[in-house]
Chains A and B, each alone.
Chain A
Amino acid sequence: MKARRLAVEIPARPAAPAPDLAPAIGLFHRFIQAGALPGLALDVADYRHVPGGPGVLLIAHEADYGVSDRGLRVLRKAGGEGLALGEMLGEALCMARAALRAIEKDGGFAMQFATADFSLELLDRLAFPNTAEGAAAAEAAALPALRGLFGAACEMARDENDPRAPLRFRVQGAPLEAAALPDAPALSTAAQAAPQPAPAAQTAQAQSPWDIEVEALQQMRAEGAPHLVVDVREPHEYEICNLDGELLPLGQLPDWSGDLPRDRTLVVHCRTGGRSARAVQALRAAGFERAFNLRGGILAWIDRVDASLRRY
């Protein structure tokens, strides 16, 4: 059996006062910018004004991710038509887990979630009406899949809800972190932004013969070692996030490099290390013997040193 749509909701841990949903707007915009969630993310919808409503939604092509006072809800929609109910459910859970991890990593949204059980809603009254037969069909299709993910102790119990509302179950004994799921479902559209650069510094490739790692810069700063950070990105990038460096866009480097100190360590960076590698090459050629390239750029800095800066 197939459903056109289904939703899983991971309950919020009770907290007093209930966490403010406003930060979820920024959180979701950051997720879109960074391509942090599975699916083609489109926009953020703010329904905080609706009592008992869906809260704040990140609308993607394949799913809507929502946070409300109740918790995190993932509604699996377009592109799931070909899937059996169990497969679709697996994808929704996979997306929910990716969202929980991304929320935790971001740190900017305080809601905590209880991941031992969740609720499942079938949003397809034609295939799965909210009747005894509909419930039996849904259980037959979903329970084997759930047990495959969570083990034999997993149970589903039909909610005694309004018969006009969608068919709904409580799924118990389903600890999400332990589920036998991939990190992300295989969707036909990819997340937009480049995937997060792998933090494994040592295995990564050199970008220039004069690379230094972000940790080294961090240490220089901590020790007060004399150095100058040179940022070769564009001004609008600088506005988004910066390391307090001297702004000297790559295109203007030839004009202004004469003003840089020759006797000081120059740590040159850009967004990911490409432009700054070229800049370092040029600076070295012009006789700046202490110019270095910050490998991985400001993104590496954000990933490994200071997550409070804005990624882009």
Chain B
Amino acid sequence: MSATRWKDALAGRIADDWAGEIDHFESQLELRRAGKLDEKAFAETRLRRGVYGQRYDNGRRHDGIAVRSLDFPERPTKGPDTVWDAPGMQRIKIPFGGLSPEQLETLADLAEEYSDEILHVTTRQDFQLHFVHIEDTPDLMRRLAAVGITTREACGNSVRNVTACPLAGVCSSEAFDVSPYAAALMHFLLGHPDVQDFGRKFKPAFSGCEDSACGLVQMHDAGFVARLRDGERGFKVVVGGGLGAVPHQAQVLSEFTPERELLPQVQAVARVFARLGEKKNRGRARIKFLVARLGIEEFRRLVAEERAALPPDPRHTAFLAELGRTAPGEGGADGATRGATNGAAADAPGFARWRASNVTPQRQPGRCAVAVHLPLGDLTAQQARALADIARRYAKAAPGDGLRSSVEQNVLLRFVAEAELPALHAALCAAGLGEPGAAGLADVTACPGTDTCKLGIAASRGLAAELRGRLAARLAQPANGAGANGEAAAEAERALSELRIKISGCFNSCGQHHIADIGFYGNSRKIEGRVAPHFQVILGGESRGNAAAYGMAMGSVPSRAAPLVVEALCNAWLQGRAPQERFPEWAQRQGKRALRAVIQPFMKAPPYAEAPDFYSDWGDAREFSIGDLGVGECAGEVVSLFGIEVMRAESQAFDAQLALDDGDAAAAEAQSYRAMLSAARALVRMEFIDIGEEPDEIVREFKARYFDTKRFFDRFAGGKFGQYLLDLHADATPTDDRQVAARRIEEAQLFIEAAHACEARSSAERQAQSAAAAP
């Protein structure tokens, strides 16, 4: 009789400690189901194992007409306000994106048996499965563990996936291959006692070189850039970067940390963060806030002190002995000379275009890295198996070296022999994976957004799918113009095809909209009493130079108008750019006023009666409602007092940006402050029409009415946004620091968002009250 439980079937194939952890998790799960474990404790346990909640798991959903309660079977919750049986998301941590064909096949099995047949690659090289039932998670973890994958610390206040440039090991501009260091760091920190007491998550990233986009170390909590000094390997270490609501650029902790000092230094950073980092206020708990508070010099001093006090640990350097000094895959070059093309020809339709956009030559002569373009990061189980076969056949290398997931939400095949590219392309096409344009214009990146994320406000994936369709069609048209203009036109088309669009469903920036040429994040606006999905437009971010510059917020446009905005921006850039000028450079040169003029015509949503589709989101037939809070809007409300007042705040925030452009940090900060005051005043006026213009009075009334009562609080961010105003009001010393001023502008924008959300909640409450009072 064969085994009837995966636990028995896989006995002996899972490392003992991993098996024990999963058994423990399963018993926690059973305890919670029996009501014998606190819901918060269980939620923390499951999150640490990557078992996330998913949208509607509070048991309520707006179906386009009304909020319905979802009558799941009666069970204990799996976390506060989280229904046991509601489907959830499983995050699967793939260190530096390195994946073997067997692992990919296992992921395919799991997608079929526990999810919806789809494997999703995230913007941090992880995989995710959606619609997973909590009771399936222990077996899911066992099957992963049997192929060497753990979901431990895939989430929660811990060290998240260690990411790295997907070209690590094959890139011609890298100092050396960072993958083994990423692997060593991940193994060292996994479950390490010094990383268990963080107030918030901690995301590390490696990059092989200073300039390319791939590692994005500037936007991580800790970033490591490979450097050689007199032939010695080491890293430039940066800390305190991060996207999220208020983006920070990382600061340099050390210009050169020798390889043997890498792990101890990170351990020291972890200890300082665990000791001094904020624990209570989640909104200020990332390491970036600690670095900002202490200043980088003081932080550096504390880390050095901590390093000196660390007990010696052989694990700090043990991995170095195992490092082969020859880069992986360089040994066997069998495929490089094999000319077998399976009859596939280099002039097959689409091959040249695919090769131009998806193939990068490797450092290793005759080898290439091939990006497999996954639309929105999704592939089916069947495609995953095909990809595993293709990797075995064409991407021969040491395990974990042939396949990498990338931050572009694609998969990279490495060590492909150049001669085999036509055959590889044919095999990919047969699996529906032969699309060109990886990491190009039509390869729009999006976070999960309203599809599955509980925080999503607008449909980031819906918009991304819509843009993909439109942009792919545009790019497929041959460049027009001939003769003398032909070359320029071709260059323009090429520049266009390299433009990056990234979309987040809310301000949390999981879609990394700050570092896109054109970025969007979801918000909502009320027009004549109805809520319509909108996106804030962010222009001119840089993913080059390891995410060296963040984009500027230009204003919100209705979701339905976003594709037109993209088109208008592309056209304005193509027409107005200097030869070879890239989008961020062009955007900087234009300045905010001129850019705003481009999007201005699209900013206003037509009233519902004229265009009801503006009031539903892309790929969603339901009428829009914010946050599924059940704001059933009534028609007939004229532009409210609030609407008029808050417009003033928005234009002040915009003026703040203009001031920053002119290099006047103090004025930018002052305008941001004024913008927050105006938004606060708009809220207060709804209840206290005679409020004056005095900042003290506005802040006092705002605090008493909206902050202390928590009415201004965001469901997830809590009082974070309100605190921005209180802090700034308390400390009126003007700044001359551009970085500080830029942050204030972000804060003002978020404060205004929060004011909009607060107003929407209040008016929903008023409506509910008047409905209850009606006969």
- Cβ–Cβ < 8 Å partners of B379 in chain A: 50
Contact A53 B117 (CB under 8 A): yes
Residue of B2, B113, B775 touching A4 (CB-CB under 8 A): B113
- Cβ–Cβ < 8 Å partners of B634 in chain A: 234-236
Q: Does A178 contact B (CB under 8 A)?
A: no
Contact A49 B376 (CB under 8 A): yes
- Cβ–Cβ < 8 Å partners of B87 in chain A: 42, 59
Q: Does B68 contact A (CB under 8 A)?
A: yes
Q: Does A26 contact B (CB under 8 A)?
A: yes
Q: A164-B105, A250-B775, A251-B775 are in contact. Are A33 and B117 (CB under 8 A)?
A: no
Q: Does B511 contact A (CB under 8 A)?
A: no
- Cβ–Cβ < 8 Å partners of A312 in chain B: 65-66
The proximity string for A residues 160-196 relative to B, scoring 1 for CB distances below 8 Å and 0 otherwise, is 0010111000000000000000000000111011000
Pick the interface stretch among B228-236, B380-388, B579-587: B380-388
Chain A proximity of B176: nearest CB distance (Å)? 36
Chain B proximity of A53: nearest CB distance (Å)? 5
Chain A proximity of B163: nearest CB distance (Å)? 24
- Cβ–Cβ < 8 Å partners of B636 in chain A: 235
Contact A189 B73 (CB under 8 A): yes
Contact B635 A239 (CB under 8 A): yes
Q: Does A38 contact B (CB under 8 A)?
A: no
Measured CA separation A79–B378 after assembly (Å): 28
Pick the interface stretch among B3-11, B316-324, B394-402: B3-11
Q: Does B591 contact A (CB under 8 A)?
A: no
Contact B619 A25 (CB under 8 A): yes
Please report which residues of chain B, range 81-96, place their CB below 8 angstroms from some CB of chain A when the two chains form the complex.
85-87
Q: Does B528 contact A (CB under 8 A)?
A: no
Q: Is the interface of A mostly helix, strand, loop or mixed?
A: loop
Q: Does B462 contact A (CB under 8 A)?
A: yes
Minimal Cβ-Cβ distance residue in A for B10: A126
Minimal Cβ-Cβ distance residue in A for B451: A45
Q: Does B23 contact A (CB under 8 A)?
A: no
Q: A125-B113, A126-B9 are in contact. Are A59 and B131 (CB under 8 A)?
A: yes
Measured CA separation A59–B115 after assembly (Å): 11
Q: Is the interface of B mostly helix, strand, loop or mixed?
A: loop
Measured CA separation A123–B110 after assembly (Å): 10
Q: Does A44 contact B (CB under 8 A)?
A: yes
Measured CA separation A165–B478 after assembly (Å): 40
Q: Does A90 contact B (CB under 8 A)?
A: no
Looking at B6, B118, B376, B632, the one whose CB has the most chain A CB atoms below 10 A away is B118
Residue of B66, B85, B375 touching A49 (CB-CB under 8 A): B375
- Cβ–Cβ < 8 Å partners of B608 in chain A: 239
Contact A125 B118 (CB under 8 A): no
Q: Does B276 contact A (CB under 8 A)?
A: no
Q: Does A113 contact B (CB under 8 A)?
A: no
Q: Does B663 contact A (CB under 8 A)?
A: no
Q: Does A240 contact B (CB under 8 A)?
A: yes
Residue of B6, B71, B451, B774 touching A192 (CB-CB under 8 A): B71
Residue of A43, A47, A52 touching B432 (CB-CB under 8 A): A52
Q: A40-B72, A239-B635 are in contact. Are A126 and B4 (CB under 8 A)?
A: yes
Q: Does A147 contact B (CB under 8 A)?
A: no
Contact B385 A162 (CB under 8 A): yes
Minimal Cβ-Cβ distance residue in B for A254: B775
- Cβ–Cβ < 8 Å partners of B105 in chain A: 164
Q: Does B194 contact A (CB under 8 A)?
A: no
Pairs A–B under 8 Å by Cβ, sample size 23: A25-B621, A29-B63, A29-B621, A32-B63, A42-B56, A42-B61, A42-B87, A43-B61, A46-B461, A47-B378, A50-B375, A52-B383, A54-B380, A64-B116, A127-B4, A164-B108, A188-B73, A192-B68, A235-B636, A236-B635, A238-B635, A239-B635, A251-B775
Residues of B within 8 A of A (CB): 2-6, 9, 55-56, 61, 63-66, 68, 70-73, 85-87, 105, 108-109, 112-113, 116-118, 130-131, 133, 375-376, 378-383, 385, 432-433, 451, 461-462, 465, 468, 608, 619-622, 632-636, 774-775
Q: Kindly list 13 other residue pairs between chains A and B, CB separation below 8 angstroms, not including A32-B63, A45-B131.
A: A4-B113, A29-B620, A33-B63, A43-B55, A46-B462, A47-B118, A49-B465, A52-B383, A79-B73, A123-B112, A189-B73, A190-B71, A239-B635
